[in-house]
Amino acid sequence: MTDFVAALGLVLVIEGVLFAALPGAAKRSCAHVLATPDGLLRGVGLAAAVLGVGVIWLIRG
């Protein structure tokens, strides 16, 4: 559970830095996401989740 909370904290740090450093790019990115079809977002999200599980599996063994 400690690793999970640390991972959530790291996500918040990365997102916070991106929004603080590049607010214009973050707004444009959000606008592009709104214009993207649901099926494509679902596929990209699923691929990212599978990739994340794969990376964790490789690291943790």
Q: Which residues contact 41 (CB under 8 A, 6 or more apart)?
A: 33
What is the residue whose two structure tokens read 């991972």?
Answer: 7
Q: Which residues contact 28 (CB under 8 A, 6 or more apart)?
A: none
- What is the pTM (predicted TM-score) of this model? 0.72
pLDDT one digit per residue (tens) for the chain, 61 residues: 888 899 999 999 999 999 999 999 999 999 999 999 999 999 999 999 999 999 989 998 8
Domain ranges of the chain: 2-60
- Residue 36: its pLDDT value, please? 96
- Residue 1: its pLDDT value, please? 86
